[in-house]
Structure 1
Amino acid sequence: MKKYLFLLLMASSASAAFAQTGKEPYYTRSLSNDGIKKVFLNTSGGSLLVSGEGKEAPHIDVFVVGNNGREYTKDEIKKRLEQDYILDIDIHNGELHATAKSRRNNMDWRQSLSIGFKVYVGSQTSTNLNTSGGSITLKSLNGSQNFETSGGSLSVANITGNIKGETSGGSITVTDSRNNIDLETSGGSITAARCSGNIKLETSGGSLNLTDLKGHVSAETSGGSIEGNNVDGELITSTSGGSINLMKIAGSVNAETSGGSVHVQMDKLGRYVKLETSAGHIDLLVPQKAGMDVSLHGNRVSFNVNGDFQGRKDKDDVVGKVNGGGTTVEVNGSSNVNVSTR
């Protein structure tokens, strides 16, 4: 076991890099000989980053800045850490544990320090990260990633494995990642691009932007619009406060909104298409010669699809089979419903 109580290490200036601002690390330690496979980071007031890109030798950086905008000297930071904080680094059996926390529960935020970690390791690394006052960034890792922040954004790029992250106060961006993705925010938008696998995205206060996704995608927002482009597989998405625009969709889709219109362009039909809005119109484009079982309902229904139709067409309802039947197409709108061939 290698345990480094941070306050004791500060006396060894040869192994540390000091700075008066957060632009440079307050402390740096090499991890090249430790074979790190798991990273555990916990801080109450700073941002966290773990990268397996391999652009830098394995090491950990510690950043310390004042929350009130003041730039502290090295001696001032040392004194504040000794008086008010517990800060240590523990390494054993391929695990890195870095913790920063206040000794006092009632510290004035304006007088407190923000302590963050940046860790550079090999790509085959799992993480468990927690901060109540900063953003979290993960890059180029393969393994199980669990992370949570109460006050910042989440950024996930090139991650393979089980990915579970949550923030109560920021946006989420996930790109070039795969397998199992589960991300949630209570206060920001979500952008997902070039991802595959089982993807679950949820926000209570922002928009959804979905691009180049493949697999099973569940995306939900309570307060924004939904934009999707080039989604292949099964897409289940809903919003209580915005419009839905989906382009180049292949497979099955279930899209619902209580506060806007719905526009969907299907490149290829899967098992079903289900669209619904309580406060707008619906436009659906389907491929040529598609076999469908259609059930369309709205204030006024326009149905212009090439092929053999058998069933009933009324002003506000169209029910029947197209080209012998096939994909279930259910559309329910409060206004105009337009279904046509691409």
Structure 2
Amino acid sequence: MNTAFVTQFIPVLLVVGQTLATGAPAANPETATTVQAALVDDNDDTPYKTLSFTNINLVRAQTSGGGLTVEGGSGNGVKVEMFIRGNNGNGSLSKDEIEERLKDYEVSIRQEGNTVVAIAKQRSSFGWNWKRGLSISFKFTTPRNMSTNISTSGGGIKMSHLTGKQRFETSGGGINLTDLKGDIEGNTSGGGIKLTECRDRVVVETSGGSIDASNSSGNLKMHTSGGGIRISNLNGIINVETSGGSITGDRIDGELKAGTSGGGIRIRDMAGSIDAETSAGSVEVNFTRVDKYVKLETSAGSVRVQMPMDKGMSLDLSGSRVSAPLSNFSGSAERDRIVGKTNGGGIPVVLSATAGSVSINQQ
């Protein structure tokens, strides 16, 4: 994700180590609208600073040591809350200690046109003492129709109840997405991803965790290099891939492409078309409806399918042992290979197991 926008916002609305008085004029009164500002001691529930803005349609944020939360669906304005904790094992700090440590950080919360920008980052890494580090998190409460461009290198990302274009990235935490609609794209290098009730276009990726997706629809693409994938009640064009785990799912309607190098694939209540492949496990699929194609392959396990066969199908089945009901069939049927047509042919069904058996509708 491109976070180069941070360098464009050098002017600072909140000056580190100083208190912003309520109603103080913004650096640029034409573009920065400050409704309120509060400074209180930090704890789990109370923000260190709170600012409110109006006429906003985009949230941009970057923090190097904390999480980011964007919660839509409330009111017309945007409220920004900044939370601060120590990252040296002592989460609760006094106000004086926080302000002393903040001298090592650049913190900026301001309005730039129709964009609210929040930044918290170290001024310099030279001679850095990690014991003086801070975890600086931001929470944005916004209208539902809001786009985002946010990133953190030290915490998780949580987004909910938003419509628009969402771009997000974290190097040190998980991602939790709830009730998002629009163009959604993000990734993490250090955590899992959970999404539910997301619609339209969703592209998410993690290098270090599992993915759990449910109750969502549209063009959905999910990739992980370090965990399993669980999908449930999805509708649309779905692409899931993992290099280090299994893929399980149920109540899938549409076109599913699934691939794994490190586990099995098991899908129940599949309605539509599927292309699934694994190098290290078995493939099991239970169909309630077959649409355009079925392609299932494994190099180190078996392929087992339950599906209605009342439509015309063109079969290409291969494995160490192959079994399938062959009513109204024309073609060749051998112990390890079946090639031919049922009911005059039609839907291509390709099932292949290099080192295992293949079966259709067998107990």
Which is strand-richer, 1 or 2? 1
Range that drifts further, 137-146 or 107-116? 107-116
Separation (CA, whole Å) in 2 of partners of 1:253 and 1:161? 25
Deviation per CA, 1:235-294: give whole Å up to 9, x if none.
Answer: 000100101000111111001111111100111112110001111111011114132100
Kindly indicate whether the alpha-carbon contact (under 8 Å) linking 2:332 and 2:340 is maintained by their aligned counterparts in 1. yes
- Of 254, 259, 266, the residue aligned with 1:245 is 266
Separation (CA, whole Å) in 1 of partners of 2:72 and 2:42? 28
Deviation per CA, 1:160-193: give whole Å up to 9, x if none.
Answer: 1110101001000111011111000000000111
1:314 is the counterpart of 2:323? no
TM-score w.r.t. structure 1 length?
0.94
Separation (CA, whole Å) in 2 of partners of 1:220 and 1:6? 45
**Structure 1 spans left out of the alignment, 5+ residues:** none
- Of 191, 196, 220, the residue aligned with 1:199 is 220
Separation (CA, whole Å) in 1 of partners of 2:147 and 2:15? 23
Deviation per CA, 1:8-65: give whole Å up to 9, x if none.
Answer: 762537831422434321111123xx12110000011110001113289741110111
Kindly indicate whether the alpha-carbon contact (under 8 Å) linking 1:288 and 1:341 is maintained by their aligned counterparts in 2. no
- Of 47, 60, 66, the residue aligned with 1:25 is 47
TM-score w.r.t. structure 2 length?
0.89
- Of 194, 208, 231, the residue aligned with 1:187 is 208
**Structure 2 spans left out of the alignment, 5+ residues:** 1-8, 23-35
- Of 165, 175, 197, the residue aligned with 1:176 is 197
Matches within 5 A, 1:24-173: 24-31=46-53, 34-54=54-74, 58-70=78-90, 71-81=92-102, 83-106=103-126, 107-173=128-194
The secondary structure found in structure 1 opposite 2:13 is strand
Deviation, 1:234, is 0.7
Aligned to 1:258: 279
Kindly indicate whether the alpha-carbon contact (under 8 Å) linking 2:231 and 2:250 is maintained by their aligned counterparts in 1. yes
Deviation per CA, 1:114-152: give whole Å up to 9, x if none.
Answer: 101000010110000010000001111111000000010
RMSD over equivalenced CA pairs, Å: 2.0
Counting aligned pairs with the same residue, the percent is 42
Kindly indicate whether the alpha-carbon contact (under 8 Å) linking 1:296 and 1:337 is maintained by their aligned counterparts in 2. yes
Separation (CA, whole Å) in 2 of partners of 1:225 and 1:138? 26
Aligned to 2:301: 280
- Counterpart residue identity of residue 293, structure 2: Y
Deviation per CA, 1:84-132: give whole Å up to 9, x if none.
Answer: 0110111032210000010121423333101010000101100000100
- Of 321, 324, 349, the residue aligned with 1:303 is 324
Separation (CA, whole Å) in 2 of partners of 1:247 and 1:44? 42
Kindly indicate whether the alpha-carbon contact (under 8 Å) linking 1:3 and 1:91 is maintained by their aligned counterparts in 2. no
Kindly indicate whether the alpha-carbon contact (under 8 Å) linking 1:287 and 1:341 is maintained by their aligned counterparts in 2. no
Deviation per CA, 1:185-237: give whole Å up to 9, x if none.
Answer: 00000011111111110000000011111111110000001001111111000
Range that drifts further, 198-207 or 87-96? 87-96
Deviation per CA, 1:57-91: give whole Å up to 9, x if none.
Answer: 7411101110112121011101111x201101110
Range that drifts further, 11-20 or 1-10? 1-10
The secondary structure found in structure 2 opposite 1:16 is strand
The secondary structure found in structure 2 opposite 1:80 is helix
Kindly indicate whether the alpha-carbon contact (under 8 Å) linking 1:152 and 1:169 is maintained by their aligned counterparts in 2. yes
Report the count of equivalent residues: 338
Closer/same/farther in 2, CA of residues 56 and 95 from structure 1, 3 Å limit:
closer
Separation (CA, whole Å) in 2 of partners of 1:93 and 1:286? 56
Separation (CA, whole Å) in 2 of partners of 1:110 and 1:132? 17
